[in-house]
Homo-oligomer: A and B are copies of this chain.
Amino acid sequence: MHLPTLFARRIPAAGSTPGTIAPAPEALPPRISVIRYDTHTLDERRSPDAADALALLRDPAWPVAWVDVQGVGDRHLLEQFGRELGLHRLLVADIGNVGQRAKVEDYDDVLFVVVRMTTIEESGRVRSEQVSVVVGDRWVVSFQETYGDCLDPLRDRIRSGRQMLRAGGSGYLAVMMIDAIVDGYFPVLERVGDELEEIEAEVISQSGSRTALGRVYRIKRELMMLRRSTWPLRDALSHLLRDGHPLLSPEVRPYLRDAADHAMQVVDVLETYRELASSFVDVHLSMAANRTNEIMRVLTIIATIFIPLTFLAGVYGMNFDTRHAANMPELGWRYGYVAFWLVSLAVGAGLLFIFRQLGWLTRRARSEAPDDE
């Protein structure tokens, strides 16, 4: 199993100038695409270079231009965008130094939004990447950590000419991106929920609860990581909703509220999952304690019955000189052996009776599983 690393922030060397970009060695080279549209027409360019993309962006003919950059491994490209669009150097650094908390920052003329996008990989692993969205009055530039397709459906919707989206301006486009990213948490939650239900079935059935321990741990860890992504996201969206921004027109607000609402729902579900996963540990410990008792009881019953009897058998196996009348006269009795067995049976039966009184003979393990009703 490959657990995600705990600490994934890109750290420029301590003491370096704030605003220094230090891309990870494994950061991908950027791929750019541009879409420009108004209500009626659409202009789409694939893989222009940065200069072309910026030129397209600044063309005043289009009410909205969206430049999407996938891969943030090229420091110079980021700086070029920053320079040309007049972005603050800290803003540009936050784009390049992935691993930021979700946040919304208001730089007067532009709105800067960082969110973490979550996707499930082929292998079933949950992957989290940073998406940075810079919103200007007539343009949006988005930066994704990897070559993803999370925003593809949005692109399709633009192409298909949906009225609202095409008429909506840059603020609306940005909110649509955020919304798409927030909604990307739901399939992850669904998968985690499914796994929790499997684990639950395993934990609460007597048989399987031991293999479940590792799974519980894994899922708890995954939930911790998800939580670290979602709480700041929720807070950032709530603040943006409360404080508003000139680029977000009143018509856009309900869509932002919708996205914030979904983020809240994600957090709610995560918290419930966390609590559930915690309760699995309790159940597991209780089950283990019960099993210990079960096992101990069997051992104790057997040992308590046979240990005294074995002693008795040992006694009559002693070799005292029976020529002395006081030595083991029982051995010479006519029914000594029969008496021995009778005593043995009496002792055994007596002990069993006592154990029954103590309730030790009732096997109650099965009834413990929660699905017994």
A298 interface residue (CB < 8 Å to B): yes
A183 contacts the other chain (Cβ, under 8 Å)? yes
Does A338 sit within 8 A of B, measured CB to CB?
Answer: yes
Contact of A326 among B206, B293, B338, B370 (CB under 8 A): B338
A137 an interface residue at 8 Å Cβ cutoff? no
Closest 3 A/B residue pairs (Cβ): A15-B153, A214-B370, A313-B314
**Which of A150, A207, A284 neighbours the largest number of chain B CB atoms within 10 Å of its CB?**
A284
Q: Contact between A261 and B103 (Cβ–Cβ < 8 Å)?
A: yes
CA distance A276 to B232 in the complex (A): 19
Copies, count:
5
Given known contacts A211-B364, A292-B292, A332-B321, A11 and B314 CB-to-CB distance under 8 angstroms = no
Judging by beta carbons under 8 Å apart, are B326 and A320 in contact? no
Interface size on A, residues (CB 8 A): 140
- Expressed in whole angstroms, the minimum distance between the Cβ of A207 and any Cβ of chain B is 6
Selected contact of A281 from candidates B103, B286, B367, CB within 8 Å = B286
List residues 321-355 of chain A with CB under 8 A from any CB of chain B: 321-322, 324, 326-328, 330-338, 340
Scan residues 210-269 of chain A and give those whose CB is less than 8 A from a CB of chain B.
210-211, 213-215, 217-218, 220-221, 224-225, 227-228, 232, 254-255, 257-259, 261, 264-265, 268-269
Interface-forming stretch among A61-69, A77-85, A190-198? A190-198
The reply to whether A1 and B371 contact each other, CB–CB distance below 8 Å, is yes
Instruction: Output the nearest chain B residue to A341 by Cβ-Cβ distance.
Output: B315
Q: Which of A1-34 contact B (CB under 8 A)?
A: 1, 3, 5-7, 9, 11-18
**B302–A151 contact, CB under 8 A?**
no
A360: chain B residues at CB < 8 Å are 295
With a cutoff of 8 Å between Cβ atoms, the chain B residues found around residue A164 in the complex are 17
Contact flag A337-B328 (CB < 8 Å), given A214-B204, A303-B307: yes
A190/B309 in contact, CB under 8 A: no
How many whole Å from A276's CB to the nearest CB in chain B? 6
Q: Is A48 an interface residue (CB 8 A)?
A: no
A55 CB–B CB distance under 8 Å: no
Majority DSSP secondary structure for residues of A touching B:
helix
Of the candidates A217, A227, A281, the one having the most CB atoms from chain B within 10 angstroms of its own CB is: A217
**What are 20 residue pairs bridging A and B, where the CB atoms are less than 8 Å apart in the complex?**
A6-B193, A88-B254, A90-B254, A101-B261, A204-B214, A210-B367, A221-B276, A282-B285, A292-B296, A295-B296, A298-B304, A306-B311, A307-B307, A316-B319, A316-B320, A319-B328, A320-B340, A321-B336, A327-B335, A328-B337
Determine the residue in chain B with the shortest Cβ distance to A255: B18
Considering the complex, give the chain B residue whose CB is closest to the CB of A297: B295
User: A38 within 8 Å of B by Cβ?
Assistant: no
**In whole angstroms, how far apart are the Cα atoms of A303 and B259 in the complex?**
64
B295 touches A288 (CB 8 A): no
Instruction: Tell me if A179 counts as interface (CB < 8 A to partner B).
Output: yes
**Cβ of A1 to closest chain B Cβ, rounded Å:** 4
Q: Which residues of B contact A300 (CB under 8 A)?
A: 295-296, 298-299
Contact A289 B285 (CB under 8 A): yes
Whether, in the assembled complex, A275 has its beta carbon less than 8 Å from a beta carbon of chain B, the answer is: yes
Bound: A13/B156 CA distance, A: 13
- Among residues 71 to 125 in chain A, which have CB atoms less than 8 Å away from a CB atom of chain B? 88, 90, 100-101, 103, 105, 107
